[in-house]
Amino acid sequence: MNTINTPVLLSTLAISFIAPSFVFAETANETPSMVIYGVATPEKHRLTDITPVVTVDRDTFEDQAGGQLITDIVKRLPGVYTGGAPGENKDVRIRGLDKEFSRVELDGIQLPDGGEKRELNINRIPASMVKEIKLIRNSSAEYEADGLAGRIQIELRDIPLQQQFEMSVSAGGQNNLDAEGKQLSLTYGNRINEQFGLQGTFSLIETPLIKSKNKYNEDGLALKSETEEKSIENLTAIWDLAYFYGDGDSAIHIKPLYIKDNEQKTKLINKFDKEGLSVKSTESEYEDKTKETVGLSIGNIHIFNELTQIDSKLGYYRTTEEKDKNKQKGKNKSEKEIEDKEDAFWQGDIKLSHRWHSGFKNDFKTGISIRQRERHRNKDKYSNGEFKAGNAKDNYRIEEDYSAFFLQNKMYLTDAFSLQVGARVEHVKLVSFDTQDKQGGSSQTDILPSLSANYKINNSTAFYASASQVLNRPKFDEITPFENEEKGEVTIGNPDLKTAKANAFDLGVNFVTDPLFLGINLFYRDISDVIESRATGDSINDKPVYQVQNVGDGYLKGIELEQRWALRSLNITIIDQFTITANQSFIRSKLENEDGSTTPFKSQPNFIGNVIVDWLHPTAYTRASLALNYISDIEVNEVNNGQESEAYLDFKITQPIGQYWSVYASGNNLTNVERVKLKSNGDKETESTGRLLWVGLNGKF
């Protein structure tokens, strides 16, 4: 695919449908308008937001193209793409940076997960339980500072005032509708009386995945072929049990949570001779992985009066992951890996909000947060049934204590101009252990100021600016005191790693009317203490020593454009039921290397674009949605491997049947994208997973 023309095409398309709308915007506001997705202007909050936040609510995403997990929503946020195989969409990568620079919260908690990079696999979270999703581009003092690229916040649905029951059942498959994929979702909510309410969601999703990989050398000769069949099962149950008191606005919430994922995969690998014609060796692999997350939080919203309230929450969350992998190499060699992980923490938060006046209105907030975490990982390896010492990096235990305090005040200096100042203090004490109980540790305190401003120029246009200091904490397996000898070199851990830090700046303008939204955001991150593996200059057993260290500096910058246009503003009957939503992100970065040269951050595309076309039939109420997601190529150089550009096309069509029921059909990765990875040595690797198709039935009562 042409890596230059596609971004230009997406940008041109956006500009082409924006330009005429200025002519019709005033006319459209004078006449009644149809609400396409429940709210006429879903971006209206942008005119008053003091920090740059992108919000997608349930009314917007419920009938848009995609499947049952929130990955289909998150991957269309501006500047975001997801990791994993084509169409698999496992983890979040904000502004093109690797997943280690992004953070994801569910109901205000960054859930523990199995990954070493502090990421949360978002393909674990069903969309049926979600109220809205926020992309926080620049953090205020109120939020945890970890994650220098940005944060995704997933908010759960509120308890409805009246009894409400929803169900969804569907079947699907890869490249066909053979029903190997299954989905069931049940959601019930009810405000039973003035004092009690509850809401619960149960979701079960089984997804088939067949993945093929092929590797070629620079002359195009086959080196390796790989076929993987994987069955993925996701089970999620979450409840919100509430007691309301006072005037009914104060409440105590008890929220139990359970998420279980099971992956079973079989892999067959063929390696070819140097001519690439015949198979010289064969390997088979079977893996069974189970990941469970359990949690319980007790929260209280206590409203003293219309000016003052306290929000508090205490929760415990634990994720365990067990993996059993067996390999057979030829007839005479077998390998086995048994791995278990556990990541658990207690977290307590309390926040005071108070509105006061000093000639103008002020919203003051202050709060504290405490988290005590313990994480361990153990991996044992066997060769032909005999125990074999594994990688020391894979066996560790970590204790991490986090505490934070913040002050923040938002001042409404005029009806049009607001200013927010804040400061957050975060302290982390870390103790790490290897398998021999060798101990390392560090302690770090960061004072993190923030400043934001919003100026509402008129009823449809607002200007904002935001500056803060943000952090990026090290990966878990980098901060243990391990020593590992492998492949002619020795690698050692570094418990003394400091967090990377960035000065974060965002500047932008939003234009919002009923039929039209335009947004532009410029961002810059001045990053110091970037963490990378470097040669220490020492040697052990005549082998060079490498260690992850705080090294050079870097930057991340770019521009993010957003558009939404309800075509009814053109008063052309044939197209007045269409709404087009689009965004384009142009990204650049630089990182210093060991030899003084500079490269972009690893795995970063220069352009990410989305176009979503939604349509509603005026009488049959048929809804259709088509979404295109484009990721430009990733540069290959001596430091990083590269990747060719990709374009994904998803769709969904929904037809109501009577008052309560609707049927739908959806498809992911209709373009059957083949991922092409390019290596610095000239090798090429292709990976494909095919299309995922679903048909289903929804009910709302």
What's residue 386's pLDDT? 87
Binned at pLDDT 50, 70 and 90, residue 203 comes out as very high
Give the pairing of strands 554-566 and 516-528.
antiparallel
User: Distance between CA 191 and CA 425 in Å, rounded?
Assistant: 39
Does position 680 have pLDDT exceeding 90, yes or no?
Answer: no
Region 361-382: what's the mean pLDDT?
Answer: 95
pLDDT band at residue 15 using 50, 70 and 90 as cut-offs? very low
- The Cα-based distances of 195 to 244, 251, 253, 313, 453 in angstroms read 5, 9, 12, 20, 40
Torsion of CA 29, 32, 38, 43, to 10 degrees: 0
Alpha carbon distance 355, 308 (integer Å): 7
The bridge status of strand 489-492 relative to strand 543-550 is parallel
Q: What is the per-residue pLDDT for 355?
A: 96
Q: Is the pLDDT of residue 12 over 70?
A: no
Q: Picking from 49-58, 245-254, 281-290, 438-447, which range would have the lowest pLDDT averaged per residue? A: 438-447
CB within 8 Å of 506: residues ≥ 6 apart: 52, 137, 138, 464, 465, 466, 467, 521, 522, 523
Q: Is the pLDDT of residue 422 over 90?
A: yes
- Report pTM: 0.89
pLDDT at 287 over 80: yes
Query: Stretch 564-575: mean pLDDT, rounded?
Result: 89
For the stretch 137-160, pLDDT in tens is 998 999 999 999 999 999 999 999
Q: What gap in Å lies between CA 640 and CA 556, rounded to an integer?
A: 17
Residue 638: which pLDDT band, with cuts at 50, 70 and 90? low
Question: If we measure between CA atoms, which residue out of 690, 662, 669, 670 comes closest to residue 180?
Answer: 690
Task: Report CA 448 to chain centroid distance, whole Å.
Answer: 24
**Domain coverage including residue 191:** 5-700
Q: How many CB atoms lie within 10 A of CB 442?
A: 17
Is the model's pLDDT at 215 over the cut of 50? yes
Query: Which pLDDT score is estimated for 600?
Result: 87
List helix spans (H) across 323-446. Answer: none
Q: Are 347 and 315 in contact (CB under 8 A)?
A: yes
| Residue 246 near residue 305 (C-beta atoms within 8 A) | no
At 593 the three-state DSSP class reads coil
Q: Are 692 and 659 in contact (CB under 8 A)?
A: no
pLDDT at 517 (0 to 100) = 96
What is the distance of C-alpha 120 from the center of its chain? 7
Reply yes or no on whether the pLDDT at 13 is more than 50: no
With beta carbons less than 8 A apart as the criterion, state whether 280 and 270 touch. no
Per-residue burial over 247-275, b = 16 or more CB atoms within 10 Å of its CB, e = otherwise = eeebbebebebebbbebebebebbbbeee
Report how far residue 559's alpha carbon sits from residue 95's, in angstroms, rounded to the nearest whole number. 10
Q: How confident is the model at residue 583 (pLDDT cuts 50, 70, 90)?
A: very high
pLDDT for 31: 33
Band (pLDDT 50/70/90 cuts) for residue 552 is confident
Q: For position 67, what pLDDT does the model report? A: 63
pLDDT in tens, 22-38: 333 333 333 333 333 33
CA distance 610 to 80: 10
CATH of the domain at 341: 2.40.170.20
pLDDT of residue 146: 95
Question: What single string gives the DSSP state of each residue in 47-95?
Answer: GT-SS-EEEEEHHHHTTSSS-SBTHHHHTTSTTEEE-SSTTT--SEEET
pLDDT of amino acid 550: 83
Between 2-16, 87-101, 371-385, 580-594, the lowest mean confidence (pLDDT) is in 2-16
Residue 106 φ then ψ, to 5°: -120, 115
| Lowest pLDDT segment from 242-251, 368-377, 490-499 | 490-499
Strand, helix or coil at 7? helix
**Arithmetic mean of pLDDT over the chain:** 88
Q: Are strands 250-272 and 361-383 parallel, antiparallel or unpaired?
A: unpaired
Name the more confident of 21 and 456: 456
CA atoms of 50 and 413, how far apart (whole Å): 13
Tokens of 614: 């939604």
Place of tokens 């997608």: 56
What percent of the chain lies above the pLDDT cut of 90? 61
Contacts of residue 507, defined as CB under 8 A and 6 or more positions apart, other chains included, come to 464, 465, 466, 521, 522, 523
Count: domains in the chain: 1
State the Cα–Cα distance between residues 112 and 92, nearest whole angstrom.
15
**Is 109 a residue whose pLDDT tops 90?**
yes
Q: Under 8 Å CB-to-CB from 560, ≥6 apart: which residues?
A: 78, 79, 508, 519, 520, 521, 522, 523, 583, 584, 585, 586
Terminal-to-terminal C-alpha distance of the chain: 46
Instruction: State residue 639's pLDDT score.
Output: 66
β-bridge mates for residue 427, sequence order:
403, 445
Asked if 303 and 246 count as a contact pair (C-beta separation under 8 A), the reply is yes
